Structure 1
Amino acid sequence: MNSYAQHLTLLQTQAEAALARCGFDAMLIASGIEKYAFLDDRPYLFQTNPHFKHWLPLSSHPNSWLLVRPGHKPRVVYYQPDDYWHVPPSAPTGEWVEQVELIIISRAEDAAAHLKVPGRLAIIGEADAALDGVVPNNPPDLLNLLHYQRARKNGYELEQMRAASRRAAPAHLAARDAFLAGASEAEIHRAYLTAAGHTDRDLPYGNIVALNEHCAVLHYQYQDLQRPAESRSFLIDAGAQVNGYASDITRTWSQGGDAEFDSLLAAMEQAQLALVDEVRDGVDYRDIHLSTHRHIASILQAQGIVKMSAEALVEQGVTSIFMPHGIGHLLGLQVHDIGGFMADESGAVAPKPEGHPYLRLTRKLQAGMVVTIEPGLYFIPTLLRQLRASPAAAAVNWPLVEHLSRFGGIRIEDDVVCRAEGGPENMTRDAFSAL
């Protein structure tokens, strides 16, 4: 049995158990529909229901459906219109086809006839995916079970995620080379896409391509067309996707040989690798986040940026000025994968540490989970103004902060698999090492 067949068998087993626990006879999953801009006939970029692509490697297939019933092959209702305005989905191909009952339709409304089966139905999807007699109800108890289980990736899923890392790694190096050659943000972005074999439509999220001071904007959303007069620093947060599974990688580069910034970058690299090594079965991810702040405190002190004890830097919240985001998140079918705050299968919430509102994962790690580890250290003007107004301002080396602000900031991010025994698997570093 190949890995995809094993994946499908596991999902079928989990779905049957979840349906029985929640009192349902079958589950319908909508892929979703194209959505149009207000008062316009232009569609937004289609985003498939992650529950749909969990079962099927189909990410660009609106108006399709999946029917899951105990004791039956999954039924896939595959929408393939006869369309001359757009390129329709190709004829179904791939290893998934032999594992399912396949029904091809040319009109979206025809799906309903193949989905109306006896019994109590759990119908998962957005409200606008509804058909005649088939209306999403999204049962919370069932979704909680599925979301909680989804955090642990099986062998097939890990294969796709390793492939997504291997697809992104050479693109990151192409982007680095473009930066070193003095390219603009837009030119760097295009170099990344070419090397990844992606278009913007294929990316799992919009690339963050930032030069100089732009590196201080956590989710910098633009790509400047103009080449800067001086390229000092470069932060790229960019991934790739394979069969619906994402990679999410960040690197920071410098040129020009600035001693203070290069020393800071080296210290962050060392800290990031130490934090990756904390990814172990049974470890509370919140503890890794708090450990990150201790690392940031030590770096701020050792680099002479703030002259306070590491303990005081954490206690007084100074580290949160320089690293305001969480250490990472679950990764998989979604870049910020679902279920990060679940304490158990019931959907009970595991709270964030006090004073850390932006952490996206609060669970204990389990073997098979894939998480990002992405410490950052930034010089963000609005937060630095808060620091200037605080009692800690007197301990800050403001001339050094002003100098380092010209570089914006640093973030380094790897995709890491928690394993049952031994250290973690660093998919990102493995992908770079293979080049």
Structure 2
Amino acid sequence: MPISKSNQQLGSHLSPRVEGHNFEQYRAHFHDLKARYDRLLEAHDMDVLAVHAGQPKRHFMDDSEYDFRVNPHFKAICPLVDAPHSWVIMRQGAKPTLILFAPEDFWHEVVNIDDADWLPLFHVELITTPSDIERFIPYNKDRVAYLGEHIEVAQALGIMQVNPESLLHSLHYHRVFKSDYELQCIATANRIAAAGHEAVEAAFYAGRSEFECWLAYMQATQQGPTQAPYQSIVAQNQHAAILHYRGKSTQPLHGRLKSLMIDAGASYRGYASDISRSYSFSEQQGEHAVFAELVKRVDALTLELVDWVRPHRYFGSIQEQAHYGVAQILLDFGWVKGLSLDQMIDERVTYAFMPHSFGHMLGLQVHDVGGNLEDASGKASQAPERFPNLRTNRKIEPRQVVTIEPGVYFIDALLQPFGHGPLARHFDWQALDAMRDFGGVRIEDNIVVTEHGASNLTRAQGLR
């Protein structure tokens, strides 16, 4: 029988109470950030750094636009995420100037900042057309740099220094270390997302479709596709083996529902959470019981990897521990036999079941920057020999926020080559075939590195 969740619970996961943030923490964060920009401007012999929020992009041969996503460097300074064509102008020793786009028409919504707690920290100017920004850029552009996506805008303004690499390296390196304000924002984003995950769990056990589960998530978080930090993955049965599954089937799988994998986050003041959970629809005997046990084992592995985190270790060691954990699971379930843990890693058997990394940096972006930087000069950390493609491989240090997300999947395209190779006899193909319809498992938590280990921001919200 399905694990019971009453239908009455489906409506009980309302938007979570958002406690917000501490303004004094934001003020301290802002002043530290402003001091860093002042040092960078001086070091790079710049007078002005023009940080562009970005601008909407239109669909090809259409007058409709893609959802706007703000430049992360803009929202790092000013917590506005929905102000296209706006700018922040940074000058040494001066209050930052927010150039807010406020068109005088009835086609566009103008963001209201009158009650924003951060408003006194900025000098604010309004522009009614995007080209009005020219009034706030010095005539001589030799000591002006542009930070943003739209190179054509910088060129039209006559700014030749576009996204200076050495400046970006420094910003990205330091962005990995989160202030108290940033940690509070990410914790709040976890709290919002946790309510959504609980709502989806209830919807799943009530037999709802992928689409209905997604609706339950949005209702509980009060965040739709334009507010959420990334497109939610709501994958039932075999769809869980598609790592970036985007479909949302509207058809309930009556009598055929086996599993659910949800990978979904939330945003708060521009900061993201990124959480994954997996569920077995039934714990009956046979393959259902096996999959339910697999969910428990991957969950336990996630917590083991969180416990492995220590300052001064390298993230590559977490990747290695994740693969050791997956290898042990494969042996314990009898899906692979006759190989040692090291053989399974070196022969890339574990990659067939977990083809992604242990996790990634998290913050202003879901896959945040700086994960492979050894220092502020842009020197890249050397990837472990065993995992040459690992992108998050720098030293573990306090105040870094990362995801921990091991998984075990049953992906035909990755398993089939082993069926025709020299290791085929080490696989129990019949047992693996029985798991194909379940897709796979991923359990993902968000953690902050502390002085002595790690604090689990996701489990702190009560989500299990």
TM-score normalised over the length of structure 1 = 0.96
State the alpha-carbon separation in 2 of the partners of residues 143 and 213 from structure 1.
Answer: 41
> What amino acid does structure 2 have at the position aligned with 1:283?
R
**Matched length:** 433
| 1:346-403 per-position Cα deviation (integer Å, ceiling 9, x unaligned) | 2122243346465331111111110000001000010110121222210111111011
Cα distance in 2 for residues equivalent to 1:83 and 1:123: 28
Which residue number in structure 2 is paired with residue 384 of structure 1?
415
Query: How far apart in 1 are the matches of 2:139 and 2:169?
Result: 24
Work out whether residues 327 and 359 of structure 1, in 8 Å CA contact, stay in contact via their aligned partners in 2.
no
Determine the structure 1 residue equivalent to 2:16.
none
Name whichever of 368-377 and 33-42 sits farther off: 33-42
Which amino acid is the alignment partner of residue 130 of structure 2?
Answer: A
| Aligned match of 1:256 | 282
SS in 2 for 1:430: helix
Question: Which of residues 86, 105, 129 in structure 1 aligns to 2:153?
Answer: 129
Asked whether 1:113 is paired with 2:135, we answer yes
AA in 2 matched with 1:46 = F
CA distance in 2, matches of 1:360, 1:175: 31
Q: How many angstroms apart in 2 are the aligned matches of 1:209 and 1:136?
A: 42
In the TM superposition, residue 91 of structure 1 has moved relative to its aligned partner by: 4.1
User: Which residue is 2:314 aligned to?
Assistant: 284
* Contact 2:144–2:161 (8 Å) recurs in 1: no
Deviation at 1:86, TM superposition (A): 3.1
Secondary structure at the aligned position of 1:189 is classed as helix
Match of 2:104 among 76, 82, 102: 82
Q: Is the 8 A contact 2:99 2:126 kept in 1?
A: yes
d(CA) in 1 for partners of 2:432, 2:424 = 12
Residues 39-83 of structure 1, C-alpha deviation per residue, up to 9 Å, x if partnerless? 211111111110000011100111111111111111111111122
Return the match for 2:455 from 425, 428, 431. 425
Q: Which residue of structure 2 aligns with residue 168 of structure 1?
A: 193
Contact 1:125 1:136 in 2 (8 A): no
Closer, same or farther in 2 for the Cα pair 1:115/1:92, shift >3 Å?
Answer: farther
Q: Quick check: 104-113 or 283-292, which moved more?
A: 104-113
The aligned residue for residue 198 of structure 1 is: 223
> Which of 198, 203, 206 in structure 2 is aligned with 1:181?
206
Which residue, 225, 230, 233 being the options, matches 1:208?
233
1:15 aligns with 2:37: yes
> What is the CA–CA distance in structure 1 between the aligned matches of 2:308 and 2:350, rounded to whole Å?
20
Equivalent of residue 335 in structure 2, options 292, 305, 318: 305
TM-score normalised by the chain length of structure 2: 0.90
Q: CA deviation at 1:87?
A: 2.2
| SS of structure 2 residue aligned to 1:330 | coil
Contact 1:328 1:359 in 2 (8 A): no
Give the alignment of 1:27-426 within 5 angstroms. 27-116=49-138, 120-126=143-149, 127-130=151-154, 131-134=156-159, 137-229=162-254, 230-257=256-283, 258-307=288-337, 308-354=339-385, 356=387, 359-419=390-450, 421-426=451-456
Decide whether the 8 Å contact of 2:95 with 2:121 is kept in 1.
Answer: yes
Instruction: Using the TM superposition, give the Cα deviation of residue 135 of structure 1 relative to its aligned residue in structure 2, in angstroms.
Output: 5.8
**Mean Cα displacement is larger for which, 348-357 or 155-164?**
348-357
Distance in 1, matches of 2:213 and 2:160, equals: 44
Deviation at 1:136, TM superposition (A): 5.9
Paired letter, 2:147: I
Q: Assess if the C-alpha contact under 8 Å between 1:324 and 1:358 holds in 2.
A: no
TM-superposed deviation, 1:117 = 7.2
Distance in 2 (alpha carbons) for counterparts of 1:400 and 1:11: 55
TM-aligned CA deviation for residue 279 of structure 1: 1.9
SS of the residue corresponding to residue 103 of structure 1 reads strand
**SS of 2:408 mapped into structure 1:** strand
Assess, with a 3 A threshold, how the Cα gap between structure 1 residues 135 and 206 changes in structure 2: closer, same or farther. Answer: farther
Cα distance between partner residues in 1 of 2:373 and 2:46: 23
Answer whether contact 2:54 2:148 (CA < 8 A) is retained. Answer: yes
Question: What corresponds to 2:13 in structure 1?
Answer: none
- 3-state SS of the aligned residue for 1:377? strand
Partner of 1:25: 47
Give, in whole Å, the separation in 2 of the partners of 1:148 and 1:172: 32
Q: How far has the Cα of 1:128 moved from its partner?
A: 3.7
CA RMSD of aligned residues (A): 1.7
What letter matches 2:146 in structure 1? I
Amino acid aligned to 1:80? A
Counterpart code for 1:226: Q
Identity %: 38
Q: Which segment is superposed worse, 424-433 or 50-59?
A: 424-433
